[in-house]
Structure 1
Amino acid sequence: MRLAIALAAMATGSCASTTPRQIGTEPLVLNAPGYLDFLAVDGATVWATNESRVEHWSTDGRLASVQLRQPCGTMAIHSQSVWVADCKEMAIYKIDRRTGQIESIVRTGLASPDGETNVVAGGGSIWVPSETSGKIARIDPLSNRVVASVSVDPGTHYLAFGMGSLWAVSSSQQSLQQIDPRTNRVVRRVALGRGPGFLAAGEGAVWVQEQSDGTVARIDPTSGTVTGRVKVGKNLKWGDIDTGDGRIWLRTTDDQTYAIIDPRTLAILARMGKANGSGAIRYTDKGVWTSEHDVNTLSWWGFPTAH
């Protein structure tokens, strides 16, 4: 039997935004050989990095595969293209979403050649941490050229775009930096806990995994104040984080596949699935994708169709 778990206290009335969403506790699990890791949502489908390729998947299975040397980190989808870093080439590949053809290679360099990094889209641009010493490259997606270089703290290689700003985390400096895309300058720094890593901007705040502390920090985007923390486990290495539907979706390595957090109260609403190693998580309005590269699977946790 397919069970469902409520994600918040029950609400009354019709299906409004305050009504709690439900999610299946028994996901659709797809066999995904190799090392399928980072995810990018493309409508009802998802793109994923693998050992030497980028793959396009649906709930019916793999749709396409694009050969690269070593794709790594989170990808960005902008217009008709997928933008993905290659840790061997130290460059960004632009791939046509419809045909799977490589359109362009932008040789930016990478700040984190071990693959723990983000390529993000926002402000009409593509952004990638490009130098370990502290640089972010800004790419024009029309000309496929680097149009600006942003000076940031050393060791910055985690990015998110939201609420009009680019947000960047340096794990070594334990800092969150707010970057104004109009000026390409850091306008604020926020001190973080130990081992900060992946982050998301949404649901009214910036959310940062403090991986070594096992916490998620909530930062007010206007004041730069840390307004709360939620302890999820002993650590959060390595996992992933996303926002959507009035929830924070946290991929974990220990204790469960992922946790669901209320952004207002910071209560952990649910712990979903068994621990199955590291991977990524991405929210959609019809369900949640998770990857589990240690057990070679890709999972779809669908919302009930009636809502």
Structure 2
Amino acid sequence: MKHLFVTSSFLLLSYAVRGQQSSLSTELPITNVATVVLKLDGYPDFLVPDNNNVWITNVKRIDKLSPTTNKPILSVPVPEPCGAMAVGFGAVWVANCSDKSIYRIDRLTGKLVAKIPTGLADKHGELSLAVGDGSVWVLSDSTGILARIDPKTNKLQATIRVLPFSYCVAFGYGAVWITNTGQGKNRPGAGTNAGSVQRIDPQTNKVVVTIPTGMVPRFLAVGENGVWTLNQGDGSVSRIDPYTNKLIATIDVKATGLGGDIAAGAGKVWVRGNKTVFLATINPKTNSVDKRYGPISGSGAVRVTNDKSVWISSHDINTVWIIKP
């Protein structure tokens, strides 16, 4: 991840929503369907919802954004923020790649509350944090260590052995879910092995089951009656039934390559691609792609806020869009 700018400017532009429906052969222009377009200097990348607002990582800071203002609500210095953040326990939790620690920041004041030295499994920052069952979760070592943080003490309360080359974690349906990239490399590339998802019981800190997925699963989402993985090796999305722990669908989104993101909410699964797909939606009722948005705009993130707004970022063109499905 290259950080190019240190100063920040913020421009808000509004667009009318068009009530168009898409076929698979029709790519909806994102600027035509966006209700808000935000232009930011720096390197706006990973998103996390905070009620109807979002936090976004940027160069040496994280910003809290609102759809109704023309500047960040808060800007908080962080030396090298990386990965998908988490919000919970009155705080935003962000990985800092330069010292391999988790920073706890008060979500209302922006005050740095604690630095927790955990280690990070991916030195490049392509990772995610999660909150759930009274804890904060992060993959802390590429040899296969899931770290559990107690927010009451801001200290590690447990480390759990998982498969190696695991980087991303999510929480839902009473469990912790992690992806295992499966090809024995820190970054996807030449590997051909299928990856997997592991389910961890937070009551016992034990792996319950390992579930095969598509090639090189990295980012994952929990919701819309499934656990969903974006498989960077073949561009597919795997759907796991959290009630049976079975793989029930593989959707060919064609979102291959590094980067990207995935989110579940507002009745859809949202897939943010990189070089082959800008944004696609999966209908969880049919397990098929029902809309595509363009044009290709480099990599970034996608998240759904409490009011069912969908936020999409592109660090390559310094832009954030908001759409209302």
Shift of residue 302, structure 1, vs aligned partner? 2.9
Q: Is the 8 A contact 2:52 2:66 kept in 1?
A: yes
The within-5 A match list for 1:1-307 is: 2-6=17-21, 25-59=33-67, 60=69, 61-173=71-183, 174-233=195-254, 235-284=256-305, 285-303=307-325
Shift of residue 195, structure 1, vs aligned partner? 1.4
CA distance in 2, matches of 1:41, 1:66: 16
Secondary structure of the corresponding residue to residue 168 of structure 1: strand
The one-letter code of the counterpart of 1:74 is: A
Q: Is the 8 A contact 2:35 2:322 kept in 1?
A: yes
The one-letter code of the counterpart of 1:301 is: I
Shift of residue 197, structure 1, vs aligned partner? 0.8
Shift of residue 65, structure 1, vs aligned partner? 1.2
Moved over 2 A (4+): 4-8, 254-257
Shift of residue 236, structure 1, vs aligned partner? 5.0
Q: Structure 2: give runs of 5+ residues left out of the alignment.
A: 1-15, 24-30, 184-194
Partner of 1:13: none
- Number of residue pairs matched? 289
CA distance in 2, matches of 1:234, 1:110: 26
Shift of residue 243, structure 1, vs aligned partner? 0.7
Compared with structure 1, are the counterparts of its residues 266 and 237 closer, same or farther at alpha carbon in structure 2 (3 Å cutoff)? farther
Shift of residue 199, structure 1, vs aligned partner? 0.5
CA distance in 2, matches of 1:234, 1:290: 16
Secondary structure of the corresponding residue to residue 300 of structure 2: coil
Shift of residue 256, structure 1, vs aligned partner? 4.4
Partner of 1:14: none
Shift of residue 192, structure 1, vs aligned partner? 2.0
CA distance in 2, matches of 1:236, 1:222: 30
Q: Is the 8 A contact 2:255 2:277 kept in 1?
A: no
CA distance in 2, matches of 1:101, 1:203: 34
CA distance in 1, matches of 2:232, 2:51: 30
CA distance in 1, matches of 2:22, 2:262: 17
Shift of residue 6, structure 1, vs aligned partner? 4.5
CA distance in 1, matches of 2:238, 2:81: 29
Shift of residue 62, structure 1, vs aligned partner? 1.6
Q: Is the 8 A contact 2:166 2:178 kept in 1?
A: yes
CA distance in 2, matches of 1:88, 1:253: 25
Shift of residue 36, structure 1, vs aligned partner? 0.9
Instruction: Give the RMSD, CA atoms, in angstroms.
Output: 1.8
Q: Structure 1: give runs of 5+ residues left out of the alignment.
A: 9-22
Partner of 1:11: none
CA deviation vs aligned residue, 1:92-121 (integer Å, no higher than 9, x gap): 000011111100011111111110111110
Secondary structure of the corresponding residue to residue 295 of structure 2: coil
Name the TM-score, length of structure 2 as normaliser. 0.85
CA distance in 2, matches of 1:264, 1:185: 32
The one-letter code of the counterpart of 1:95 is: I
Secondary structure of the corresponding residue to residue 72 of structure 1: strand
Q: Is the 8 A contact 2:214 2:237 kept in 1?
A: no
The one-letter code of the counterpart of 2:116 is: V
Compared with structure 1, are the counterparts of its residues 55 and 164 closer, same or farther at alpha carbon in structure 2 (3 Å cutoff)? same
CA distance in 1, matches of 2:150, 2:114: 12
Shift of residue 237, structure 1, vs aligned partner? 3.2
CA distance in 2, matches of 1:266, 1:35: 33
Q: Is the 8 A contact 1:24 1:302 kept in 2?
A: no
CA distance in 2, matches of 1:257, 1:5: 18
Q: In percent, how many aligned pairs have the same letter?
A: 40
Shift of residue 144, structure 1, vs aligned partner? 0.6
Q: Is the 8 A contact 1:279 1:290 kept in 2?
A: yes
